[in-house]
């Protein structure tokens, strides 16, 4: 018994601090499969409610797709539930190898190695590829898992202002003496849905002899004409040295991630990446389902085309309705509200209207940048989108923000 009152009081005070700051995260219980429509119990004990879901990363609507479920069931029957081993002892089945090959072909790289998650892929890859003679030059807004992965690596850390190519070039000049440099970015940034200028990044990398690493978790499966990712979208397919991505978003949404890219780096990950060596293999059900997902999206672009159509429709209609939307083409659609309480209140009212969205505020986004982040899916029917647009318009009217500029919304509600 060493859990003293001093420790207990300290932790309790921390929790109170989180609540007081208004950043305490409540979990809401969903009592249905993931899909366009979900059944939610919120708050706990309240009657179940059917709502249209606009905050999953289920971009292609594959999370509960019948073919994917069937493939998972088949995997369970034929290959069992768990492997009870890491990959290199007795945790690799032929289907793992098959999936790695399919991911390599889909992403247009040389080789791929699976991890338990993209978080793990990011935790492993930098330490494997770089040492203290080297430099990591990262966009300032990279995902938290990249920040943590870079912390585990001894290379010198530099960062450049978000998507700012002049600043990146300065950093490349500053680090000329290093043995290797790696430019590190998200393909798509999750809060704004904005896209890294990979064409310009690759051009700079070529000029200054640096490698390029992209985390494409919010793009794999649907960005670009055939859904390969941000590199396809930006016209630099085949030119990215290291891609990390997740199976936990568009590609079925269960779990798993990978490092894909130059074959020597991938091979070194198999030898040295700590999350790969010391954490359990991805289970067979996920692998057989992911193999089917890769087959589906390699065969046809129907689902990413539908997602694109839904996204453009929703963006157009919401802009016409008078909302202040971060411009772009990505299915992440940030409805800017600036004030944290306004974002919370509107999200709650929308929930009452049957639209499930979440208000985001500091510290998830910068102070004064509160918003409702809508995420569009190929699973949404036109009717779902129209219901959401109507509900947003009604609630936007209630708070008198329609047609108002950033400045006017801030005048009304403050930051």
Ligand X SMILES: *Cc1c(COP(=O)(O)O)cnc(C)c1O
Lookup: tokens for 316: 């157009």
Site string for ligand X, 184-203 (x = CB under 6 A): --x---x-------------
Min dist CB 218 to ligand X, Å, is 5
Active site residue 384: no
Decide whether 218 or 380 has the Cβ nearer to ligand X: 218
Decide whether 137 or 250 has the Cβ nearer to ligand X: 250
From 218, 231, 233, 384, active-site residue: 218
Active site residue 309: no
Euclidean distance between CA atoms 325 and 220, whole angstroms? 24
Q: Is 218 in the site for ligand X (CB under 6 A)?
A: yes
From 117, 145, 190, 260, active-site residue: 190
Decide whether 115 or 323 has the Cβ nearer to ligand X: 115
Decide whether 63 or 145 has the Cβ nearer to ligand X: 145
Which one of 58, 185, 246, 279 is in contact with ligand X (CB under 6 A)? Answer: 246
By CB under 6 A, how many residues form the interface with ligand X?
13
Decide whether 142 or 409 has the Cβ nearer to ligand X: 142
Identify which range of 165-173, 213-221, 286-294, 365-373 contacts ligand X by CB under 6 A. Answer: 213-221
Residue among 374, 316, 389 nearest 343 (CA): 374
How far apart, in Å, are the Cα atoms of 153 and each of 12, 123, 161, 258, 372? Answer: 33, 9, 21, 18, 35
> Contacts with ligand X in 115-154 (CB under 6 A)?
117-119, 143, 145
From 249, 330, 380, 384, active-site residue: 249
Active site residue 84: no
Give the sign of the dihedral formed by CA 286, CA 287, CA 293, CA 297: positive
Contacting residues toward ligand X, per CB under 6 A: 117-119, 143, 145, 186, 190, 215, 217-218, 246, 248, 257
Which active-site residues does the annotation give? 190, 218, 249
């Amino acid at each position: 018994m060493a859990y003293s009152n001093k420790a207990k009081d300290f932790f309790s005070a921390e929790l109170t601090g989180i609540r007081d700051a208004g950043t305490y995260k409540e979990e809401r219980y969903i009592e249905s499969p993931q899909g366009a429509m979900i059944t939610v119990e919120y708050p706990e004990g309240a009657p179940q409610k059917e709502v249209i879901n606009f905050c999953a990363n289920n971009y292609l609507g594959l999370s509960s797709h019948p073919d994917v479920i069937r493939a998972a069931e088949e995997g369970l029957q034929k290959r069992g539930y768990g492997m009870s081993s890491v990959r290199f002892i007795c945790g690799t089945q032929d289907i793992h190898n098959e999936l790695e090959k399919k991911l390599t072909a889909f992403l247009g790289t040389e080789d791929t190695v699976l991890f338990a998650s993209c978080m793990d892929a990011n935790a492993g890859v930098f330490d494997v590829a770089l040492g203290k003679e080297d430099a990591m030059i990262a966009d300032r807004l990279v995902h938290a898992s990249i920040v943590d992965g870079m912390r585990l690596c001894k290379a010198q850390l530099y960062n450049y202002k978000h998507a700012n190519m002049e600043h990146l070039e300065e950093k490349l000049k500053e680090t000329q003496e290093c043995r290797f440099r790696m430019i590190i970015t998200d393909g798509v940034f999750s809060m704004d849905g904005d896209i890294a200028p990979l064409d310009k990044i690759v051009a700079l990398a070529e000029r200054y002899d640096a490698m390029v690493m992209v985390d494409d978790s919010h793009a794999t499966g649907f960005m670009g004409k055939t859904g390969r990712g941000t590199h396809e979208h930006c016209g630099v397919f085949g030119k990215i040295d290291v891609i990390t991505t997740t199976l936990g978003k568009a590609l079925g949404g269960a779990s798993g991630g990978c490092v894909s890219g130059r074959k020597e780096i991938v091979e070194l990950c198999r030898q040295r990446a700590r999350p790969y060596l010391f954490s359990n293999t991805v289970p067979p059900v996920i692998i057989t389902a992911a193999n089917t997902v890769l087959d589906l999206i390699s065969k046809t672009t129907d689902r990413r085309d539908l997602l694109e159509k839904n996204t453009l429709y929703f963006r157009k209609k919401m802009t016409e309705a008078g909302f202040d939307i971060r411009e772009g083409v990505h299915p992440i659609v940030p409805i800017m509200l600036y004030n944290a309480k306004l974002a919370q209140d509107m999200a709650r009212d929308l929930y009452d209207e049957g639209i499930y969205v979440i208000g985001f505020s500091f510290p998830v986004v910068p102070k004064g940048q509160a918003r409702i982040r809508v995420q569009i899916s190929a699973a949404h029917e036109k009717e779902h989108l129209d219901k959401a647009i109507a509900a947003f318009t009604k609630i936007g009217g209630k708070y008198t923000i329609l047609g108002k500029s950033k400045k006017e919304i801030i005048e009304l509600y403050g930051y």
